[in-house]
């Protein structure tokens, strides 16, 4: 059997599959985010490790006598987080997460000091990326910067605890702004701009290769053999791509989780930084991918539900009862609760409802949120298309994939065929388990089959005109707000 561990922002998931790729057991454990100041988002790496050990115990109980059949482990993780370790591998400060936007000024400084950045790293300097976070630490916490012996990404901190080895993969490392994405190697030039060196970086392997084996201590603690291999793993979206079988050029999916991602596979390196499109390595050799990323997606719906005191299921039921006239007259919603990446690269962008009246009720606010997130993804599709990338169909994964209503709205908004899969909510953990099996030399075509289709949503042409009109007003609303802030 093969174990996949997916270190997310809101939870850690773990999943076990057998030789046929069938899920044997799955479990999850919640995580919390600390926001001690505006724009800050942090977590304690020790909490990740404690959650992982809890999951191992839970899965070990579920798998019973079959637990010892696990041959390899794969890792998936939230990208861009900065885990800073000293010479004794102790954590220096809480990890700065991907949705932390404190380092906007440092992004501008990095762009100015490294004019080769776009060519080498393939991406704009954005506050979510790792490199500007380190510039911020150097400037504001010099006592911490001086102690840094190693910088790790979140999932690679778990690997260190599991194996004692400091290793990362190409896909996750591409999100640091220190990787030469075309060459799939650290860039000494970009590291030097941040006063760091290759010696402070982990070794690199492909995501589907063996990175290390479990340490004797952890193997004994987990009830596994020390010969159990740990695959390179990858950033959460690239690993989710493995989970939905997105491995060939043109394969695409949308992830509706805390953030929103539109992901498409490329067989060559195709950067488009001018549109804030991400160009990263895939977890497979000689493959890359592009992504548009919005920082708040399904989390916008959770935010609204907390405010109005209703569950997501209840609110979605109310939204489904709205008439076409009520939807056409609903407020517009900008989903920028944490700033935005693609296409705006604007950490100061704010969320808003526009166009409320006395007749506005929570159902129309709920619809506005679903539509606003869909429009944010439409922004991403637009700039991907402008870069020359063509998409005909998208799989839908993440928590938002559980809503048939939202899936149909995405099909109508994007004018794309949207496909949901059975078990789609475990995309990252499933992908990690699949990488574990690939690391044991199982064939790619056999391992990375697309999961069984649950439902296909085709665009409803009768809604196209109304949605296009509202989308153009959505775009103008952001531009008007930007003009007021400048």
Residue listed under structure tokens 């990488």: 435
**33, 97 contact by CB (below 8 A):** yes
Q: How many angstroms separate the CA atoms of 290 and 271, rounded?
A: 8
Residues with active-site annotation = 236
Give the span between the Cα atoms of 410 and 404, in whole angstroms. 10
CA–CA separation, 320 and 191 (whole Å): 51
Q: CB of 407 within 8 A of CB of 383?
A: no
**What are the structure tokens assigned to 327, written together?**
């939807």
CA angle 389, 394, 395 (to 5 degrees): 140
C-beta separation of 49 from 22 below 8 A: no
Can you tell me the distance from the alpha carbon of 312 to that of 255, in angstroms, rounded to the nearest whole number? 18
**Terminal Cα-to-Cα distance of the chain (whole angstroms):** 56
Annotated binding residue at 79?
A: yes
Neighbours of 66 (CB within 10 A): 14
Q: Please name the residue that has the structure tokens 């939230």.
A: 78
Distance CA 126, CA 366 (A): 30
Task: Quote the CA–CA distance of 9 and 296 in Å, as a whole number.
Answer: 12
Q: How many residues would you count in the chain?
A: 486
Question: Tokens at residue 67, please?
Answer: 């637990």
- CA angle at 175 for the pair 272 and 86, rounded to the nearest 5°: 155
Residue ranges of the binding site for substrate: 79-80
């Amino acid at each position: 059997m093969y174990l996949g561990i997916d270190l997310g922002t809101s939870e850690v998931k773990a999943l076990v599959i057998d030789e046929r790729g069938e899920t044997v057991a799955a479990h999850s454990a919640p995580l919390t985010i600390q926001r001690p100041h505006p724009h800050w988002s942090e977590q304690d790496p020790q909490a990740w490790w404690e959650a992982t050990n809890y999951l191992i115990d839970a899965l070990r109980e579920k798998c019973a006598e079959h637990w010892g059949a696990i041959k390899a482990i794969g890792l998936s993780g939230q990208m861009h987080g900065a885990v800073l370790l000293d010479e004794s591998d102790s954590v220096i400060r809480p990890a700065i997460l991907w949705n932390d936007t404190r380092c906007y000024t440092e992004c501008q400084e990095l762009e100015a000091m490294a004019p080769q950045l776009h060519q080498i790293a393939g991406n704009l300097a954005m506050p979510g990326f790792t490199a500007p976070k380190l510039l911020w630490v150097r400037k504001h916490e010099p006592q911490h910067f001086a102690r840094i012996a190693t910088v790790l990404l979140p999932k690679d901190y778990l690997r260190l605890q599991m194996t004692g080895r400091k290793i990362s993969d190409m896909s996750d490392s591409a999100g640091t702004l220190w990787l030469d994405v075309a060459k799939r190697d650290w860039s000494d030039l970009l590291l030097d701009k941040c006063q760091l060196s290759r010696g402070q970086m982990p070794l690199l392997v492909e995501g589907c290769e063996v990175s290390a084996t479990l340490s004797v201590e952890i193997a004994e603690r987990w009830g596994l053999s020390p010969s159990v291999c740990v695959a390179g793993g990858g950033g959460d979206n690239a690993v989710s791509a493995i989970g939905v079988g997105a491995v060939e050029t043109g394969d695409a999916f949308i992830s509706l989780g805390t953030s929103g991602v539109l992901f498409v596979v490329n067989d060559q390196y195709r950067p488009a930084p001018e549109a804030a499109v991400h160009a990263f390595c895939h977890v497979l050799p000689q493959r890359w991918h592009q992504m548009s990323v919005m920082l708040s997606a399904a989390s916008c719906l959770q935010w609204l539900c907390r405010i109005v005191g209703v569950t997501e299921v209840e609110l979605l039921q109310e939204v489904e009862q709205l008439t076409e006239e009520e939807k056409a007259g609903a407020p517009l919603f900008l989903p920028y609760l944490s700033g935005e990446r693609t296409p705006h690269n604007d950490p100061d962008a704010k969320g808003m409802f526009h166009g409320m009246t006395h007749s506005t009720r929570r159902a129309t606010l709920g619809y506005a949120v679903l539509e606003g997130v869909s429009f944010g993804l439409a922004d991403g599709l637009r700039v991907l298309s402008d870069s020359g990338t063509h998409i005909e169909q998208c799989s839908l994964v993440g928590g938002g994939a559980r809503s048939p209503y939202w899936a149909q709205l995405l099909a109508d908004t994007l004018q794309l065929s949207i496909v949901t899969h059975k078990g789609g909510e475990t995309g990252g953990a499933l992908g990690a388990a699949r990488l574990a099996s690939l690391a044991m030399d199982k064939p790619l075509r056999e391992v990375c089959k697309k999961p069984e289709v649950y439902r296909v949503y085709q665009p409803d042409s009768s809604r196209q005109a109304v949605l296009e009109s509202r989308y153009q007003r959505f775009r103008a609303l952001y531009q008007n707000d930007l003009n007021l802030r400048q």
